[in-house]
Amino acid sequence: MTTLRGRDLLRDPRLNKFTAFTPAEREALGLVGLLPEAVESAETRLERAKSQLARKPTNLEKYLSLSALQDIDETLFYRLLMSEPARFVPLVYTPTVGEACLEFSHIIERPKGLYLSIERKGHVREVLRNWPERDVRFIVVTSGGRILGLGDLGANGMGIPIGKLALYTVGAGVPPRFTLPIMMDCGTDNETLLSDPFYIGLRRNRPSIAELDEFVEEFVTVPIWQFPRCCIQWEDWARADAFRLLARYRERVCSFNDDIQGSGAVALAGILSALRITGGKLGEQTFLFLGAGAAAIGISDMLTRAMMQDGLTHEQACARIWLFNSAGLLETSRRDLEDYQLPYAHAHAPSGDFVATIESLKPTVIIGVSTAAGLFNQRVVEAMARLNRRPVIFALSNPTSRSECTAEEAYKWSEGRAVFASGSPFPPFKYRERTLTPGQCNNLYIFPAVGLAVYATRAARVTDEMFIAAARAVAAQVTQADLDAGLIYPPQADILKTEMHVAERIADMIFDGGLASVSKPPDMGAFITSHVYKPEYRSLV
């Protein structure tokens, strides 16, 4: 039931059904004459939306069309995305969201979420009161400091929290009404944006660490009283900020950083699956990263914790992991390293040559998180193929334009032997008589399931152990048929089923750890299912 009538009802995206309003609803709610005479089913509405989307010539135009649909008919928007997630998710998130963020100030038509300017410091409470929903369970918040592999995009980075929260619903059925995307606009050091007459953000350079931290502290304290069941996801902050804020707040409030913990878990899931192809145990592998930022450390820390669960000491686990960045191999003689990088700096001669480092360390797995395209060149892949019968090559930088190599390159240069995954999707590749399906190491497999479990259990905290449990649960759902095709993640077509299973495992851990705020149910599967949003029109009379 609703008190809205006529045009006000048609303007509410959560209630609007357009031609799916029944004759009785049209009569009772003052809609006669405001709608065409045709009364259509939800299925017809869905097929028309697919047809309209197919008419758009570019992915960016499809992104804009979907964004408009979300503002008009939220139920149809999620029904569309959830009908074929493998087809439509890349249009609302990676890789298309990267292009959208680059152009955000020029393509934005209607605001979504909340823009919280550092100029409002001291008045954060008043700003958050302007959000119409009183029960917010998930905030995805960014400063725009490091959007994907694209750098500082300031307020243009708002596309990221909007997209991430859509994936909470698509991937795991978290009800969209409980979500809030926030852009903490702290200015930008991107001079191109500051000189752009259409830039929508605050026109100033970024603040000092002290000023930023004071602003963030005020922001964090407001949800504690205004949204007491809320979980905060830190997203695409500058590297140093990301580590500092995660460390400061992970034990104080229910919060996590998807770039660090989510990236670590989804990479761990892919590696666990890859080992079913290559053979050997996790603690027997040698990992070499290209890149030493938030994603690299997040994956390294998750691998370390997983190896410790398997019986290694912390020192033994760290010794299996090496990092290489633009200044060369991280080794003990370097004096330019951050504290969070030090556990992975080992005794070794200095090296600025990645191929030479491969030849020296003989890694079984290389992981690209450099945000620089093409660095896994033919020499790199061929070196890995010489050293390993089935080299594991993860080119994880997003968007596609920043990937360290393509799937085709990895397969061709390794003579079809590479076990490959990328951050953004690549199409299947036929090598000789085999069709190889590259895996997409997409955080979509992890963070929505964590969200669903936290939402259902009302968890007080999010822990690294939850992410490891999620990784193991994702890997366990990869079938032998998937592995035979080279696929090391479950098909995205079944993403909701996959994540509901993952959420069950995480919820078990939440209850066993005493972090839940509700009683443990006798049937965990039914408990999780009861919390899943279904994009269905409901009767309004």
Please confirm, yes or no, whether 430 is among the known catalytic residues: no
246 close to 257: Cβ distance less than 8 angstroms: yes
Collect all residues with Cβ–Cβ distance below 8 Å to 419 and sequence separation of at least 6.
274, 277, 278, 390, 391, 392, 393, 486, 488
Query: Look-up: residue for tokens 């680059």?
Result: 102
Residue length of the chain = 541
Task: Give the whole-angstrom CA distance, residue 362 versus residue 385.
Answer: 11
Question: 379: which 2 tokens?
Answer: 């020499």
Collect all residues with Cβ–Cβ distance below 8 Å to 338 and sequence separation of at least 6.
240, 243
Q: Report which DSSP code applies to 375.
A: -
Residue 236, amino acid: D
Question: 489: which 2 tokens?
Answer: 């993640």
Question: 227: which 2 tokens?
Answer: 């949204």
Collect all residues with Cβ–Cβ distance below 8 Å to 514 and sequence separation of at least 6.
none
66 close to 58: Cβ distance less than 8 angstroms: no
301 close to 294: Cβ distance less than 8 angstroms: no
- The residue annotated as part of the active site, out of 63, 78, 93, 168, is 93
Please confirm, yes or no, whether 199 is among the known catalytic residues: no
* Partner residues linked to 196 by β-bridges: none
> DSSP assignment of 128-145, as one string?
HHTSS-S---EEEEE-SS
**Strands across the sheet containing 439-440:** 328-329, 321-325, 287-290, 365-368, 392-395, 419-422, 439-440
- The residue annotated as part of the active site, out of 17, 63, 115, 164, is 164
Secondary structure of 340-355 in the HEC alphabet?
HHHHHCECCCCCCCHH
Kind and range of the H or E element at 246? helix 239-249
Task: Map residue 377 onto helix, strand or coil.
Answer: coil
CB count within 10 Å of CB 192 equals: 10
Active site residues: 93, 164
